[in-house]
């Protein structure tokens, strides 16, 4: 059975991508050949204030943006948490996102990342959730202007 709410409408995706400004990409790789690295660079070039979250890269810069060890270490409010981890690991990332103050507005799980239980927790707290989508793909597909 396909999980519910995995594919928001184009209007909802457009609304999300035009309203968020700060994005924390959890699971960022320093390897320029990895999808997370490419998406991170794309988000920055598109005008978002993006930061990476990876404990092994904390304190480094990738594409000129800072990398933090944990979501809780990011020193400013986050609008969207973009999860580049596997479906099982997404639950822990969502739990950590739900402990932030203020709460992010959006939990975004990358392609092939689906965790209905974690999504339900986030929705119960009022967050929008997108699963199994890539913001870079959706920005291009929906012709989202640079922010």
| Contact yes or no for 28/37 (Cβ under 8 A) | yes
Is 119 among the domain residues?
A: yes
* Total domain count, the chain: 1
Q: Shortest CA distance to 118 belongs to which of 141, 86, 95?
A: 95
| Contact yes or no for 67/51 (Cβ under 8 A) | yes
Q: Shortest CA distance to 84 belongs to which of 100, 119, 108, 118?
A: 108
- CATH number of the structural domain spanning residue 117: 3.40.50.720
- pLDDT at res. 7: 78
Domain region containing 70 = 24-141
Residues of the chain with pLDDT under 50: 1-3
- pLDDT at res. 50: 98
Q: Shortest CA distance to 65 belongs to which of 76, 50, 85?
A: 50
Is 19 among the domain residues?
A: no
């Amino acid at each position: 059975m396909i999980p519910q709410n995995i594919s928001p409408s184009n209007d909802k995706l457009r609304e999300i991508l035009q309203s968020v400004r700060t994005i924390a990409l959890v699971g960022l790789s320093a390897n320029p050949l990895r999808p997370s690295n490419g998406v991170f660079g794309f988000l920055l070039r598109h005008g978002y204030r993006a930061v990476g979250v990876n404990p092994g890269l904390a304190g480094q810069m990738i594409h000129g943006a800072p990398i933090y060890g944990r979501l809780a270490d990011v020193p400013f409010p986050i609008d969207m948490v973009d999860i580049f981890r596997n479906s099982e690991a997404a639950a822990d990332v969502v739990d950590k996102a739900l402990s932030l103050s203020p709460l992010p507005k959006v939990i975004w799980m990358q392609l092939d990342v689906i965790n209905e239980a974690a999504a339900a927790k986030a929705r119960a707290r009022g967050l929008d959730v997108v699963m199994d989508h890539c913001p870079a793909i959706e920005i291009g597909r929906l012709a989202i202007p640079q922010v």
